[in-house]
Structure 1
Amino acid sequence: MSLYIGLSQWSHPAWPGQLLGRELKTTEHLQDYARVFNSVEGNTSFYGVPDSSSLQRWANQTPDDFRFTFKFPATVSHQGQLLDNSPTALSFIEQLAPLRHKLGMLMLQLPASCGPEQLSGLEQLLSALPEDLQYGVEVRHPAFFAKGDAERQFNRLLLERGVNRIMMDSRPVFSAPPNTPALADAHQKKPRVPVHIISTGPAPVIRFIGHPEPDYNLRFWQPWLPRIQGWLDEGKSVYLFVHTADNQLAPQLAAEIARALQHPLPTFPGQAPSPQGQLF
């Protein structure tokens, strides 16, 4: 049983002095981030595979229990047919060898254009992947949220293979008008899909897309608490990745949720602990 809490990145211009130390080189940001969080959503791999020296440096900068959750590259998830992309997926996994021992999950984020007609290809792709790693699949096609045959077939496929259905909760960011540049960008880019809460594998994954203003988020994340605790009580691991529209206050939001789960995060660098030993 493990609870992995992290953000969508380990560095942000607003974080020095808040999450990151003030005088850190860019190459040291991950090490500072990993003093607080035990996982990160690796989005850069979607655009290209990091080089071996970077992967080895990242492995050296994180503790043994830290877990990376890289996304499969777009060449696997967004180009061509899933049926044909197994060699590309296997090559990607081979390139991650320097920190394979710290891979928490590999995430296949499928576009909205990928619908039920590709379920057979998805099954063959998943069947080709190494069994010693964990996988998560995120879908955006409306048919996979319609509670019909397509969604049942998709969920059954994941259940049979022990693959986790990634749960996206973007409700907070759409709960108010897009009256800032960050919100307008989020409204344009973030998927607005229904929240279907289901654990199809041993490690449920939640991607929580918060509003920049903390007051908007409470009513959306509080109902997740008993679900997360229930999965932990069942002996499952849970991955919770916290975003906000601009990510400036994402560390504070993650810390607030962690405290509510009775898994308080360590004190941030440069901050004195509260009387309870917690930052927030």
Structure 2
Amino acid sequence: MWTHARWQGRLLPGHLPQGERLRAYATWCDAVEGNTTFYATPSRATVETWAAQTPPDFRFVVKLPKPVTHEHRLAGGEAELGAFLDAIEPLGPRVHALWVQLPGSFAPSDVGVLAAFLRRLPRGHSYAVEVRHRAFFEDERSERLLERVLAPVAAEWVPFDTTVMFASPPTSDAERDAWTKKPRVPRRSRALTGRPIVRYLGRDDERRTVEGWRPWVETAAEWLREGRSPTVFIHTPDNADAPLLARRFHDEVRARVPGLAPLPDPMPDDEPLTLF
């Protein structure tokens, strides 16, 4: 995500090579979604550069590979999983959670497979599961069943709040794309562990995005008062201003919880100006 084209030269220094952009991003935000690992497991050498560019308390929430979660549906893919776990090892404590994102077809009837899979995972990591089947959100029995499976391994349930996106029809190409691809599920705000993770999707309109995250500001503040350590990811359909919005969200939470540390000052763009 730190290589997002819309950020280069506007939010992140434009002259930085790709291998240095994470260092700049880490001055804007102190956590990142490792979404690219879903599509391809990086080399161990690449992950070593990620570790070198980030402070020890930086948080990676790293998605498990697609072959494990979507192709084998947790009932295989041991080789792919082993390669992934070996590749991310250089991140050490920066791995805040391994993110098990499941397809929308993964239903309550599949929860036994999830339970067996979670039991096989190494205990050295924290785990976070994202489900997209509506039954988990609308049927209390299915909800409690999933919570009972997550509890023995202290895994968190990751809500992806898209309610603002689906509150009214899309108005741009980016919103139309999100409308067709993102899950349409109710908002969920119950934390299961001391390390809750939230994914929030707003709109192109900044005002609507900010209005929509108000419940999460209050929830995150309450979690902090309870001694939890939440991680909140702010998205919009094109993510052009996501780092700015993430910092604004952080400031709103900090206004309610003054003990929350501020984010670092963003890296300046010190590229020299030229006339030609």
- The question of a shared fold, defined as TM-score above 0.5 by the shorter chain, is answered with yes
Whether contact under 8 Å (1:18, 1:269) holds in the other structure is no
Whether contact under 8 Å (1:212, 1:249) holds in the other structure is no
- CA distance in structure 1 between the aligned counterparts of 2:73 and 2:60, rounded to whole angstroms: 26
1:25 aligns with 2:17: yes
- CA distance in structure 1 between the aligned counterparts of 2:161 and 2:215, rounded to whole angstroms: 12
2:47 to 50, 55, 72: 55
Q: How far 1:13 moved relative to its partner?
A: 1.9
Whether contact under 8 Å (1:86, 1:125) holds in the other structure is no
1:267 — aligned with what? 265
The change in CA–CA distance for 1:200 and 1:90 in structure 2 (over 3 A counts) is farther
Q: How far 1:87 moved relative to its partner?
A: 5.5
Matches within 5 A, 1:247-266: 247-262=239-254, 263=260, 264-266=262-264
Whether contact under 8 Å (1:82, 1:125) holds in the other structure is yes
1:35 — aligned with what? 27
Structure 2, unmatched stretches of 5+, are 255-259, 270-276
Q: Deviations over 1:145-204 (max 9, x none)?
A: 123322210012112321100011112222342221111111111111111111112211
Q: How far 1:86 moved relative to its partner?
A: 5.1
Secondary structure in 1 matching 2:5: coil
Percentage of matched positions with identical amino acids: 36
Secondary structure in 2 matching 1:105: strand
- CA distance in structure 2 between the aligned counterparts of 1:65 and 1:21, rounded to whole angstroms: 23
The change in CA–CA distance for 1:91 and 1:201 in structure 2 (over 3 A counts) is farther
1:13 — aligned with what? 5
2:273 — aligned with what? none
Structure 1, unmatched stretches of 5+, are 1-8, 272-280
Q: Flag the structure with more relative contact order, 1 or 2, with Cα contacts below 8 A and sequence separation at least 6.
A: 1
Q: How many residues get paired?
A: 263
In structure 2, give the amino acid aligned to 1:79: E
More helix per residue: 1 or 2? 2
Whether contact under 8 Å (1:242, 1:253) holds in the other structure is yes
Q: Deviations over 1:85-118 (max 9, x none)?
A: 4564344212222223321110000001111221
Q: How far 1:211 moved relative to its partner?
A: 0.8
Q: Deviations over 1:211-247 (max 9, x none)?
A: 1210111221111122112212222211111111001
1:224 aligns with 2:222: no
1:77 — aligned with what? 69
1:135 to 127, 131, 137: 127
- CA distance in structure 2 between the aligned counterparts of 1:118 and 1:83, rounded to whole angstroms: 10
Whether contact under 8 Å (1:90, 1:129) holds in the other structure is no
1:160 aligns with 2:158: no
- CA distance in structure 1 between the aligned counterparts of 2:147 and 2:206, rounded to whole angstroms: 33
Root mean square deviation of aligned Cα: 1.7
2:173 to 172, 176, 181: 181
